[in-house]
Chains A and B, each alone.
Chain A
Amino acid sequence: MTSPLQQKLKINGSSVVTANRTWDGVVVYRTAAKGWSADLADAAIVRNSDEAKALLAEAVADDVGAIGPYIAPVQVDEAGKILPGNLREQIRRDGVTIDLPV
């Protein structure tokens, strides 16, 4: 298995590091304060592969805190609001695109 740190990093634009919290599985984002937040607004933004690698390395080191960290694309709008960069990340932030049965 290739460790996430050995994988080639190609960063197009703004990105964040995201994972799932170990004890409950909730989607979390790596913050600049070396922690995790369930709110994308708190995520540290990286803009090149060196920054991304550094943030990811920090996230991977916290194996007890969160599982499977990876770099995910985001868009930052004019007001500075962070938005998910693709459908998968949108679903991870907002939940399923369908009505739940209950």
Chain B
Amino acid sequence: MYAYDEIDRTLVNERVSEFRDQVQRRLSGELTEDEFKMLRLQNGVYLQLHAYMFRVAIPYGTLASNQLRRLAHVARKYDRGYGHFTTRQNIQFNWIKLSDLPDALADLAEVGIHAMQTSGNNMRNVTSDQWAGVAPGEIEDPRIWSELIRQHTTLHPEFSFLPRKFKIAITASDHDRAAIKVHDIGLRLIKNEKNETGFEVLVGGGLGRTPFIGKTIKHFVHGRDLLSYIEAILRVYNQYGRRDNIYKARIKILVHELGIEKFSREVEEEWQHIRNSSLQIDDEVIEDIRSRFIYPAYEKLPHMPDELRQAAADPDFEAWRKNSVAAHKNPGYSIVTISLKPIGAPPGDATAEQMDALADLADTYSFGEIRVGHEQNLALPHVAKRDLPALWKALDKLGLATPNVNLITDIIACPGLDYCSLANARSIPIAQELTRRFANHELANLIGRLHINISGCINACGHHHVGHIGILGVEKNGEEVYQITIGGRADESAALGNLIGPGVKFDEVADVVEDIVEAYLALRERPEELFVDTVKRLGVEPFKERVYATR
């Protein structure tokens, strides 16, 4: 994990005192809401239906146990005792008072957490693979580069008032867990023929009203040129991105309207001016950042310890292990995903008690480190295999051992109309009902990997376009109606789902999903053929026929 130094801490503290001053000016009437809105958004403060919502950044999804405890403290002291982990490695608190926000931020700043640029038309939290640094086969730890970009784009004097928000994600694995193809800039860390680190750069991906899969703008940008290349993209976007229509202001629209060739020529021309400037990163700078990522001192441990062998007799443990435990680059260790999707609960929520308890478990079993993934689950990244049975028992007691990772009940959902002022329809109750329908673990396992993503409006915070089954809530004549797509995916083969037919009512969504799943079970060639592959092979039609035959 990255350890802040005095320089980073000073900046965060200066930001807190600036925001304290801004809040004070707002409450005294010196700032109008119109003026303040942009300032509060730049610090992660939204207004939702019932209260302000406060979004805190968890850069590249890495948290230390003391940081997680502090998030629990904020939930308890300033909110209602829980938090909501989002699809972009942030946590949201839903009930916070504006007058309490400066104190909450100051409490977080003490442990090096901030809310800078978690909203607003600027560079958002730079996200990464939640298994970064521990995944087998990874080229190198992408978080070093995420941190470099995070620093470079924090309070950037030129790019804090972009046409619209801007999101970057980085992966260094073949299997993309960071959804880089649906980001404004997606970075895939690769090596060139000289074994030098660089990036394939994708641009113009995104979901929302007009979804696009990102396009490759440059096949290899050397690591030393990464900042200047990103700066060139941002400068072109800042000057030419549309500002006349909020729905056409994202970079994906500019890339689409200019075409990737013309856009890349503009970027290239700008880049040639600045690539040999002070933006060039020398190895020493990278080494300095790398040196402040602390890696555990792993022991040499057996691949198959006795504890694990004995616990294998317990079918519940085995079900969990097979589902939630993944291979670690060090064979004596595992990566443990912690499902925040218990049956019948809101996806991604964790109580303050759970956060505190998880922080303790991280200290005991994971070198004090926790990860947050875009699927709204957590992970303990360095668990010795011999500790898996004990960890499982502890997680189970906390309600955090649901063995449904990547299964049909591991649903991504935005807060929807229960919380969000932009939403047209509810998301959480749909997710809850679906988890109840597929609560049977045997059934969920039989179905296999299947991602359901739910958004309560066209802004697509629930990533519905890239769900294997995507559910979009809209409002029609005062009623909640849900449009269902199939065949989307967010990984290295990212694709947008296709609409299966007319929208259905709130009460019918779970029935329709059941029909889709039944159709899949009947249509798949063999049990290993995943839902999304069956859809790819057969198209939407056979699913549509079955779902709408009786409707």
Contact present between A and B (CB < 8 A): yes
Q: State the A residues within 8 Å of B (CB).
A: 1, 20, 22-27, 63-64, 67-68, 86-88, 91-92, 95-98, 100-102
Task: List B contacts of A87 (CB < 8 A).
Answer: 417, 478, 480
Is B49 a contact partner of A92 (Cβ separation < 8 A)?
Answer: yes
Given contacts A67-B47, A88-B417, A96-B418, contact A23 B81 (CB under 8 A): no
Which of A26, A64, A88, A101 meets B351, CB within 8 Å?
Answer: A101
* Most B C-beta atoms less than 10 A away, residue of A24, A25, A63, A88: A25
Contact A23 B99 (CB under 8 A): yes
- Beta-carbon contact of B50 and A25 below 8 Å: yes
Contact of A88 with B49 at beta-carbon distance under 8 Å, contacts A96-B418, A97-B429, A98-B429 already known:
yes
User: Given A63-B33, A97-B429, are A24 and B51 also a contact pair (CB < 8 Å)?
Assistant: yes
Q: How far is the CB of A11 from chain B (nearest CB, A)?
A: 16
A36 to chain B, nearest CB (A): 14
- The docked-state distance in angstroms from the alpha carbon of A36 to that of B56 is 31
Q: List 10 A-B contacts (CB under 8 A).
A: A22-B27, A27-B49, A64-B27, A68-B33, A68-B47, A92-B49, A96-B419, A98-B346, A98-B428, A101-B349
> Which parts of B75-97 form the interface with A (CB within 8 Å)?
80-82, 96-97
Nearest 9 pairs between A and B by C-beta?
Answer: A25-B51, A24-B97, A102-B81, A96-B418, A64-B29, A25-B52, A101-B82, A101-B349, A23-B99
List of B residues within 8 angstroms of A92 by Cβ: 49-50
Chain A residue nearest in CB terms to B426: A97
Given contacts A92-B49, A102-B81, 9 further A-B contacts (CB under 8 A): A20-B51, A23-B98, A27-B50, A64-B27, A67-B33, A68-B33, A98-B346, A98-B429, A102-B352
Considering the chains assembled together, what is the distance between the CA atoms of A98 and B396 in angstroms?
A: 23
A96 contacts which chain B residues (CB < 8 A)? 50, 418-419, 428
A101 touches B346 (CB 8 A): yes
| Complex: chain A residue closest to B432, CB-CB | A98
Distance of A35 Cα from B417 Cα, bound (Å): 27
Which residues on B sit within 8 Å (CB–CB) of A63? 29, 32-33
Distance, CA A63 to CA B418, complexed state (A): 26
| Cβ distance A101 to chain B, nearest Cβ, rounded Å | 5
Measured between beta carbons, the chain B residues less than 8 angstroms from A22 are: 26-27, 33, 98
Cα A102 to Cα B345 in complex, Å, equals 11
Report B35-52 CB contacts with A as 1/0, cut-off 8 Å.
000000000000111111
**In this complex, what residue of B is CB-closest to A95?**
B50
Task: Contact check, B47 vs A20: say whether CB atoms are below 8 A apart.
Answer: yes
A98 and B418: CB pair below 8 A? yes
Main secondary structure of the interface of A (DSSP, over half): loop
Query: Is A23 a contact partner of B27 (Cβ separation < 8 A)?
Result: yes
B interface, CB within 8 angstroms of A:
26-29, 32-34, 47-52, 80-82, 96-99, 345-346, 349-352, 417-419, 426, 428-429, 432, 478, 480
CB distance from A17 to the nearest CB of B (A): 15
A91 cross-chain contacts in B, Cβ below 8 A = 49, 417-418
Contact B51 A102 (CB under 8 A): no
Query: CA A101 – CA B346 in complex, angstroms?
Result: 8
Q: How many Å from the CB of A2 to the closest CB on chain B?
A: 12
Q: Which residues of A contact B480 (CB under 8 A)?
A: 87
Contacts of A26 in B (CB 8 A): 50-51
Contact yes or no, B97 A23, CB < 8 A = yes
Nearest CB of chain B from residue A15's CB, rounded to whole Å: 15
- Give the CA-CA distance A102 to B33 in the complex, in Å: 32
Shortest Cβ distance from B342 into A: residue: A101
**In the complex, chain B residues whose CB is within 8 Å of the CB of A95:** 50
Best-buried of B27, B28, B52 by chain A (most CB within 10 Å): B52
Taking CB atoms, residues of chain B closer than 8 Å to A97 are 418, 426, 429
CB distance from A4 to the nearest CB of B (A): 11
Distance to closest chain B CB from A92 (angstroms): 5
Least distance between A98 CB and chain B CB atoms (Å): 5
- For B48, what are the chain A residues with a Cβ–Cβ distance below 8 Å? 25
Question: Which of these, B47, B349, B418, B426, contacts A25 with CB under 8 Å?
Answer: B47
Q: How far is the CA of A100 from the CA of B345 in the complex (A)?
A: 9
Taken together as a complex, chains A and B put the C-alpha atoms of A92 and B420 apart, in Å, by: 10
Report the bound CA distance from A75 to B28 in whole Å. 36
A102: chain B residues within 8 A (beta carbon) = 80-82, 351-352
Contact check: which of A25, A68, A86 meets B97 at CB < 8 Å?
Answer: A25
Give chain B residues whose Cβ lies under 8 Å from the Cβ of A20: 47, 51-52
The answer for the CA separation of A102 and B353 in the assembled complex, in Å, is: 10
A24 close to B99 (CB less than 8 A)? yes
CA distance A56 to B524 in the complex (A): 58
Residue of A nearest to B84 (CB): A101
Nearest CB in chain B: distance from A86 CB, A: 6
Complex Cα–Cα for A26 and B82 (A): 18
Report how far A24 CA is from B49 CA in the complex, Å.
Answer: 12
Query: A68 — which chain B residues lie within 8 A by C-beta?
Result: 33, 47
Does A100 lie within 8 Å of B50, measured CB to CB? Answer: no
Kindly state the separation between the CA atoms of A27 and B52 in the bound complex, as whole angstroms: 10
Residue among B47, B82, B478 making CB contact with A100, cutoff 8 Å: B82
Bound CA–CA A88/B422 (angstroms): 10
Q: Which residues of B contact A86 (CB under 8 A)?
A: 478
Identity of the chain B residue whose Cβ is nearest the Cβ of A3 in the assembled complex: B34
**B413 shortest CB reach to chain A, Å:** 11
How many Å lie between the Cα of A68 and that of B48 in the bound state?
A: 11
Which residue of A has the minimal Cβ distance to B94? A96
Could you tell me the distance between the alpha carbons of A26 and B428 in the complex, rounded to whole angstroms? Answer: 22
User: Across the two chains, which residue of chain A brings its CB closest to B415?
Assistant: A96
Within the complex, the shortest CB–CB distance from B182 to chain A, in Å, comes to 27
A2 to B98, CA, bound (A): 25
